[in-house]
Chain A
Amino acid sequence: MMKSNLHGERKISPHVFLSAFVWGLGQLLYGQIVKGLLYLAAFAGALWFFIARGFRDIAGFFTLGTVQENLWLGTTGDNSMRMLILGLFALFALVFAGVIWYANVKDAAFTARQAARGNRPRGFRESLAAMADGKFHAAALVIPVVGVCLFSILPIVFMILIAFTNLGGEVVHPALADWSFAAWQKILSVGKVGATFVKILSWNVLWAVASTALNFFAGLSLALLLSKKNVRASKFWRSFPVVAYAVPAFISMLGFRFMFSQSGPINQMLTASGRDAVFFLSNVESAKWWARGIGLFVYAWIMTPSIMLMTTGILSNISSDLYEAASIDGASPFMKFRRITLPFILFSLTPVLISQFVGNFNNFGIFFFLRGGLQSNYADYFLASDTDLLINWLYNLSVDNNYYAIGAAISLVIFVITAVLSLAVYVNSKAYKTEDTFR
């Protein structure tokens, strides 16, 4: 590798060699004091971390704990979950250290080449300036990449790994965990967990399809209504849905929960007119379809305005020539909608609709805010209610009830489903097939 960098003319400079073992040493010998010291400090830090705990953490990652807690003997045992995440962190740190090592060797090789050509090695200021210019993209992406690795990728990898352990349920802290497929056996078997899984999955698919379609057509109809030629002051009419759009979603959802609650205004009006109060959102089995319907309605109320805003923009892009030509050919308004408007909108919005579909499939908020609460009231479900989506079940399992492994396995299932669905829809969409010709 070094050879190719040096165009195969020269042997590896001894300074580069030194830098490969003790980071920054080569730079120091070239007289690049500040940079050399920085690399040296990074080297010391990395050494200290890995000797003090890093290597032990990585070992713990594989064993998941060997010492059982014993209160009689006063031994503090291993905590499997913590060992897993710390081990993972140490592995990430190892990769990160590797990146710094590579940068350090590359930098030393660069300076060696400069020195071989008789140039003075760069000072620290010059190096910084070069960083801000030629390596701008790398410097700019350091913080985003580290942030995303630590707070997004690490947790996700952790969860994937958890799915292949027996953590959770009986196996929490004092007990030691192990790698196993127990969670998958539970989900795929015919037991209560498996039955709940099938029921929630089918409702989840129904919910995602119904809510995406409902929101799309409601938003489209609203945009078409507002763009009708005989509507005056359409900006004024448009401001009402925009209010609904601007109110934070959780406030709308909580507001609707109060509206449909046991002592809420709708039930008050029902009882005042001599009828029985209805359990709209209570945690009872008779509320199943009420709660599902209200969920669809409330979510449409929240989402319609944004679809309307999007489609309004796209509608104004459709050339009026198309409609005029259609009129001359004697097309009815419905035919125009069916053959011109709808295909155009669908073409433009397919990527947005896909992400909406995935978002709806994983819509945690709607039933969490609308209904929330007791899952123990449902005899047929394992720690879930009959409106819960997979993502709500995952939350109940892993955050509320410590069933980590099952929860993690479900999140993997969710991932596979959404990934396959969005890929399939995307590949079959017109926007993808005709992308090149249309752009």
Chain B
Amino acid sequence: MSTSRTVADSSPIPSRRPRRVTPGRLFDDIATYTALLAVSAVFVFPALWLVLASLSKTGDLFSFRGFFPSAYSIDTFRDLFTNDVNGLYPYGKWFINTLYVAGVSSVLGTLLVILTGYVMSRFQFKGRDAIKKATLLLGIFPGFMGMTAIFIIVAQLGLLNRLEALILLYAGTAPLGYLVQKGYFDSVPGSIHEAAKMDGASQLTIFIRVTLPLSKPMIVYTALTTFAWPWSDCLLPQLLLKNREVWTVAVGLYNMPDQQFARFAAGSVFIAVPIVILYFCLVKYIVSGLTAGAVKE
């Protein structure tokens, strides 16, 4: 623990009063930093384990010595795209499929959610209250209660084994989660809209020219969440996509056996790293989105 002591003491902030090292403080510092190290280890270890496993030379989980591979190589990542083991693990195709589904649903879904949130926040009209109550009620139903029905509907539309079915479902149901966006628009002062209306702008113009540019943080947050959901959903694709070629990455990874552990790890790292980097860049927006549901003073 001596290292953490020096970290704590060697960088005094000028504005602070100089601290006297009392036994109580020393004990508190040691306890605090021990806890911090422990917590960090708990959170970082599984991620580190997967990253190292993805670099293992042998693929089978059983060939590892304890947690870590006995030999390292970069080949697993190359195999991921070049060697699909007789069409069993066509990761490249899965990746393109996932990108397509998540990308298109994110664009459409974001547009619909923002529009819904904006209308529900700014307009008073007949049926507004009914819509609000209905969405609250729908939110209580267990998520995929209608799985069987969705399967039949998609089959009737002739969209089984088609990625477009997923896009329709993700983008079509995205507006149900409009409350966060509504909360955001509630907090934007209405005077700007009033001013634009005074100048004779139509509601459509106001939405495109005033609202959208003003709500960049919310658009970023919405785009991220509507992208992340199809990116990591496994249930709908598992239900609606039966051919291995049209699977998404999540379904593919779910169906990997112990013997393909390194392949699983490499595939996971490959899709997780961009998302992790994205989250780090946007953590500010995410926090504001997360707390949008909380009661504020």
Q: For this complex, into which size category does the number of interface residues on chain A fall?
A: 35 or more
**A152 and B135 alpha carbons, distance in the complex (Å):** 10
* Contact status B280-A152, CB under 8 Å: no
Q: Which residues of A contact B62 (CB under 8 A)?
A: 263, 268
Nearest A residue (CB) for B229:
A248
Q: Which residues of B contact A355 (CB under 8 A)?
A: 139, 293
Q: Is residue A242 contacting chain B, with contact meaning CB distance below 8 A? A: yes
A159-B148 contact in complex given A141-B116, A254-B264, C-beta closer than 8 Å: yes
Residue-wise, chain B 32-43 has the 8 Å CB interface mask toward A (1 for contact) of 100110011011
Please pick, from B32, B172, B258, the residue contacting A148 in the complex, using a CB distance under 8 A.
B172
**A132 and B205 alpha carbons, distance in the complex (Å):** 9
Residue-wise, chain B 257-277 has the 8 Å CB interface mask toward A (1 for contact) of 010010011001001100110
Prevailing SS type, chain B contact patch: helix
A132-B150 contact in complex given A156-B145, A310-B291, C-beta closer than 8 Å: no
Q: Which residues of A contact B228 (CB under 8 A)?
A: 248
Q: Is residue B163 contacting chain A, with contact meaning CB distance below 8 A? A: no
Q: Is residue A424 contacting chain B, with contact meaning CB distance below 8 A? A: no
Nearest B residue (CB) for A133:
B202
- The smallest beta-carbon distance between A168 and chain B, in angstroms, is 9
Q: Is residue A137 contacting chain B, with contact meaning CB distance below 8 A? A: yes
A82, A258, A355, A414: most-surrounded residue (chain B CB, <10 A): A258
Q: Is residue A438 contacting chain B, with contact meaning CB distance below 8 A? A: yes
- The smallest beta-carbon distance between B157 and chain A, in angstroms, is 10
A148, A154, A225, A252: most-surrounded residue (chain B CB, <10 A): A148
- The smallest beta-carbon distance between B147 and chain A, in angstroms, is 6
A154-B153 contact in complex given A250-B234, A314-B294, A352-B293, C-beta closer than 8 Å: yes
Q: Is residue B204 contacting chain A, with contact meaning CB distance below 8 A? A: yes
Prevailing SS type, chain A contact patch: helix
Q: In chain B between 173 and 215, which residues have their CB closer than 8 angstroms to a CB of chain A?
A: 173, 175-176, 178, 202-204, 207
**A147 and B109 alpha carbons, distance in the complex (Å):** 11
Q: Which residues of B contact A148 (CB under 8 A)?
A: 138, 172-173, 175-176
* Contact status A225-B32, CB under 8 Å: yes
Please pick, from B8, B261, B294, the residue contacting A352 in the complex, using a CB distance under 8 A.
B294
* Contact status B203-A136, CB under 8 Å: yes
* Contact status B140-A246, CB under 8 Å: no
Q: Which residues of B contact A264 (CB under 8 A)?
A: 61, 258
Q: Which residues of A contact B112 (CB under 8 A)?
A: 143-144, 147
* Contact status A151-B173, CB under 8 Å: yes
Q: In chain A between 204 and 247, which residues have their CB closer than 8 angstroms to a CB of chain B?
A: 222, 225-226, 228, 230-233, 237, 239-247
Q: Which residues of B contact A152 (CB under 8 A)?
A: 138, 146, 172-173, 176
* Contact status A162-B148, CB under 8 Å: yes
Please pick, from A239, A250, A261, A269, the residue contacting B254 in the complex, using a CB distance under 8 A.
A250
Binds B, one of A284-292, A324-332, A391-399: A391-399
Q: Is residue A103 contacting chain B, with contact meaning CB distance below 8 A? A: no
* Contact status B204-A133, CB under 8 Å: yes
Q: Is residue A30 contacting chain B, with contact meaning CB distance below 8 A? A: no
* Contact status A254-B175, CB under 8 Å: no
Q: How many residues of B contact A (CB 8 A)?
A: 93
Q: Which residues of A contact B131 (CB under 8 A)?
A: 141, 145
Q: Which residues of A contact B168 (CB under 8 A)?
A: 147, 151
Residue-wise, chain B 100-139 has the 8 Å CB interface mask toward A (1 for contact) of 0000000000001001101100010100000100000111
**A137 and B206 alpha carbons, distance in the complex (Å):** 13
Q: In chain B between 212 and 267, which residues have their CB closer than 8 angstroms to a CB of chain A?
A: 228, 231-232, 234-235, 239, 250, 253-254, 258, 261, 264-265
Q: Which residues of B contact A133 (CB under 8 A)?
A: 202-204
* Contact status B207-A136, CB under 8 Å: yes
Q: Is residue B169 contacting chain A, with contact meaning CB distance below 8 A? A: yes
Nearest B residue (CB) for A265:
B67
Q: Which residues of B contact A248 (CB under 8 A)?
A: 228, 231-232, 250, 271-272, 275
Q: Which residues of B contact A138 (CB under 8 A)?
A: 125
Q: Is residue A158 contacting chain B, with contact meaning CB distance below 8 A? A: yes
Please pick, from B42, B152, B297, the residue contacting A81 in the complex, using a CB distance under 8 A.
B152
Q: Which residues of A contact B142 (CB under 8 A)?
A: 362, 391, 394, 411, 414-415, 418
Q: Which residues of B contact A156 (CB under 8 A)?
A: 138, 141, 145-146, 149
A255-B148 contact in complex given A133-B202, A156-B141, A301-B42, C-beta closer than 8 Å: no
Please pick, from A140, A162, A233, A305, the residue contacting B119 in the complex, using a CB distance under 8 A.
A140
Which 7 residue pairs of A and B lie closest in terms of their CB atoms, listed nearest first?
Answer: A155-B146, A147-B172, A136-B203, A246-B279, A155-B149, A248-B232, A144-B175
Can you give 14 contacting A-B residue pairs, CB < 8 Å? A85-B156, A132-B204, A136-B119, A156-B145, A230-B28, A231-B36, A232-B7, A243-B43, A243-B44, A249-B232, A259-B46, A314-B291, A369-B234, A431-B295
14 further interface pairs, Cβ-Cβ under 8 Å (given A351-B294, A439-B297): A81-B152, A82-B156, A141-B116, A147-B112, A151-B150, A152-B172, A156-B145, A251-B253, A258-B258, A263-B258, A265-B61, A265-B66, A310-B290, A431-B295
